[in-house]
Structure 1
């Protein structure tokens, strides 16, 4: 039996798969709006939120979910969060404006990250909760507040691990100075509690931070302060791969290739963070997070059920409940997981002198990758039916979604068949604009006009590094919804969730103001009775 080709198969949400499988749906969207495009699926976001809430409802009497806006600029996601009744975490004046424009009131907005004086003035005027990053911020808030209503603040702390330094938050070593400022300004500042954000997904680090913050709560009581909130931040992981064994097999082959064993699997001298020494491959690769198989909901459940030694083995949830602390969370990735894909067209395919095959697309690397990371899941090539001489006129535009490495190709006249290894290249005149620096095996050689789908790009991939180099505009963002048996595609700014199902209002949140649902403007409509 022939060994399967190296592959990094992506996990695809059934609703996204149904849209990509629908004949004509994707091509109609591309013709109408152009290429490349980002597609977001707010109903997938709503499902993720529902699962997240279910875990919290099981463990906690009081909590607040603050959607981390920075994960994606999509208004459709923000409107879905607002309609669901959760809060939002913003980190810039522009994100604040986006949240307010989407209907969030000041009671449901938290502001994190470093802030300059002008931004602080605006935040105080708005009456939102300020997650204080440093002592200067805290001091200026007290000075700027004047005799107005108290400014609600959380104090972000850091320094839980002596061997790790963070550029964010007030170090534990400076906490007494923070207590002095809070105590001296109780008439101007309403101190809600403590916050932290752990960049690592390791449970032990988060538990250590929670335990340290619980100790700070006890210290705060001694300063006449009454904290009632513990904000544990975000950082809940995503699951990208649909087959962990094949992912591990690909990485093993890649490591072997770095030792000059077997076929070359990376562009140029790219080692993805590994280093070769003494005939062995060492280090942690830059793509390690794509190997994760633990969903965010399990990570959250395990955290809430973790015992705290200093509290007699009671769980995190029990200690929070016993001390009447409201747990706040700032999920971003966990809520948009599998709720976004990016689609581009093949412009041309070329072969280099050494036989390397490049598939050039009408998109650049910065539109589908977060910063310098390598996205270790395979793009999906959808062959255009324009290449199929047997396809009737007006019939579907793309072949059904399939795993390229596992599917026998359908022969096409004058077209090379059989598996082919390629690199996907971007549209910029820069050597570094390689969308994949790792080799991707496809069932057959792509052709101009074919569509390439990059799965699960909703979290940071779409926006974090997006640029307008060579005056190329950033890809348009569209929202896809399945309603009444058909798919509808909206400009992102036009999407409204009020006719969707599965979004009950949140409990334990203040009522919203009058809801004024605008009428969606000109959705693209594709019948599909078989979609979930």
Structure 2
């Protein structure tokens, strides 16, 4: 049986680039394989879509690009050029943001921070999104005389939300406010922040309601917060065919049950578990099922009624209270703005009869180790006639676990050695989160792609300058 197809949603710019097969091969010859390609113009378009939603509601806002989503210099320079802010989660990212041209008042330092990171944040005069009480007290101790550090309090522990290891629990906010009052000559509270590990509108609305109450409590302490930071977590759209995704999921589960052809390698169950002749649980690839754009998710959140405010929309409540909304999108800004290209090394038959297509990259190059790629890679094969087949893509590490796809993938035709294989939409965490140099394989090059005057121009990511500067 040939598995159902799960085609990727491609930005028109990426689709146009891939139609030039000679151009793709030329890029591999010039920069080597495997290769990460980033498209800053798509980043700019994604940013414009989010800005349009916020502008419709006339909401005071700040968009902070979450640098951790990708190490690309082209992306962070594009963000700086666009005039937005940046969210950095390490000293290295802070240095990268400064090199890209972000001024101090457009840099926010987030995540858990030790003394070294806090000193770097202070040295940069950046806003500090405080994760815990120790950070808050240490900031007050480390801040130079006559320096007032702008801070946000990241809070967690909302009812109805999963427990989080990040942020100050709601039960500890009173202590945090006392610290801020005691050190008001060193620390200035800008507002409250949260980051939920979900895109569910109901949970976000609930968190916003709790944060508005915290703002009232801060006012009662003589503080004057004006910012509500709702973090990131806006989703991506991976697949061009939601029905195809569902068909594949059904076929995969049937294979796990033994009521259909097996489409899984070995004992991999993708997060499902089988019991009493049924498949239970949720898969590790659930994010690929999303069909809502980040802009639509944001619009729905801003339009959602806020409990306790007479049914008024969340966005209207923020505006009425003269609050500034901060967002920290990462995935949403690089959605569809990056692809990874590799070459086929050889094709073989395993002892099980499965067809393995070996590539010159590892699984960790295109996905986190505990996740599965559930959109089909694109094979630019030279053979013209279509001959659909089901294959597994294998990596180049001498490890059994280095199967790039541990599920059977539909290809239009079997590739040959040297054929390019494209993994779409890899810019968000996929290329950098688990990247390693195992077995002394080099880290793939990263190259920016620009569409200019009807043609595509490529340059090393480190050399890219927005506006041709």
Aligned residues of 1:151 and 1:190 also touching (Cα < 8 A): yes
Displacement after TM superposition at 1:145 (Å): 1.1
Q: State how 1:396-435 maps to structure 2 within 5 Å.
A: 410-411=384-385, 418-435=387-404
Unaligned 5+ residue runs, structure 2? none
Report the secondary structure of 1:24's partner residue.
helix
Instruction: Specify the alignment match of 2:451 in structure 1.
Output: 482
2:268 maps to 1:270: yes
Aligned residues of 1:371 and 1:464 also touching (Cα < 8 A): no
Q: Residues of 2 paired with 1:363 and 1:321: CA distance?
A: 49
1:161 to 159, 162, 165: 159
Q: State how 1:131-142 maps to structure 2 within 5 Å.
A: 131-142=129-140
Instruction: Specify the alignment match of 1:299 in structure 2.
Output: 297
2:413 maps to 1:444: yes
How high is the TM-score relative to the length of structure 1?
0.87
Question: Structure 1 pair 251/23, CA: closer, same or farther in 2 (3 Å)?
Answer: closer
2:247 maps to 1:258: no
Displacement after TM superposition at 1:352 (Å): 1.3
Instruction: Specify the alignment match of 1:497 in structure 2.
Output: 466
Q: State how 1:164-179 maps to structure 2 within 5 Å.
A: 164-179=162-177
Moved over 4 A (4+): none
Deviations 1:271-295 (A, max 9, x none): 1011111111110111111000011
Instruction: Specify the alignment match of 1:64 in structure 2.
Output: 62
Report the secondary structure of 1:70's partner residue.
helix
Displacement after TM superposition at 1:201 (Å): 1.3
Aligned residues of 1:107 and 1:129 also touching (Cα < 8 A): yes
Instruction: Specify the alignment match of 1:197 in structure 2.
Output: 195
Deviations 1:16-35 (A, max 9, x none): 01111124211111111110
Instruction: Specify the alignment match of 2:43 in structure 1.
Output: 45
Report the count of equivalent residues.
469
Deviations 1:59-94 (A, max 9, x none): 133100000000000000011101000000000000
Instruction: Specify the alignment match of 1:184 in structure 2.
Output: 182
Q: Residues of 2 paired with 1:479 and 1:20: CA distance?
A: 15
Question: Structure 1 pair 105/340, CA: closer, same or farther in 2 (3 Å)?
Answer: same
> After alignment, is 178-187 or 22-31 more displaced?
22-31
Aligned residues of 2:272 and 2:283 also touching (Cα < 8 A): yes
Displacement after TM superposition at 1:4 (Å): 8.5
Deviations 1:355-393 (A, max 9, x none): 111000000000000231111000000014xxx6xxxxx
Displacement after TM superposition at 1:5 (Å): 4.9
Aligned residues of 2:89 and 2:110 also touching (Cα < 8 A): yes
Instruction: Specify the alignment match of 2:147 in structure 1.
Output: 149
2:264 maps to 1:287: no
Q: State how 1:331-350 maps to structure 2 within 5 Å.
A: 331-350=329-348
Deviations 1:460-511 (A, max 9, x none): 0000000000011111000000011111001001111114xxxxxxxxxxxx
Q: State how 1:95-114 maps to structure 2 within 5 Å.
A: 95-114=93-112
Q: State how 1:7-26 maps to structure 2 within 5 Å.
A: 7-26=5-24
2:431 to 443, 462, 470: 462
Q: Residues of 1 paired with 2:282 and 2:140: CA distance?
A: 44
Q: Residues of 1 paired with 2:77 and 2:390: CA distance?
A: 41
Report the secondary structure of 1:309's partner residue.
coil
Instruction: Specify the alignment match of 1:530 in structure 2.
Output: none
Instruction: Specify the alignment match of 1:324 in structure 2.
Output: 322
Q: Residues of 1 paired with 2:98 and 2:366: CA distance?
A: 28
Aligned residues of 2:77 and 2:465 also touching (Cα < 8 A): yes
Report the secondary structure of 1:327's partner residue.
strand
Deviations 1:152-175 (A, max 9, x none): 000000000367321100000101
Report the secondary structure of 2:14's partner residue.
helix
Q: Residues of 1 paired with 2:116 and 2:41: CA distance?
A: 37
Question: Structure 1 pair 213/345, CA: closer, same or farther in 2 (3 Å)?
Answer: same
Deviations 1:103-161 (A, max 9, x none): 00101000000111111112112110000000000001111114132000000000003
Report the secondary structure of 2:339's partner residue.
strand
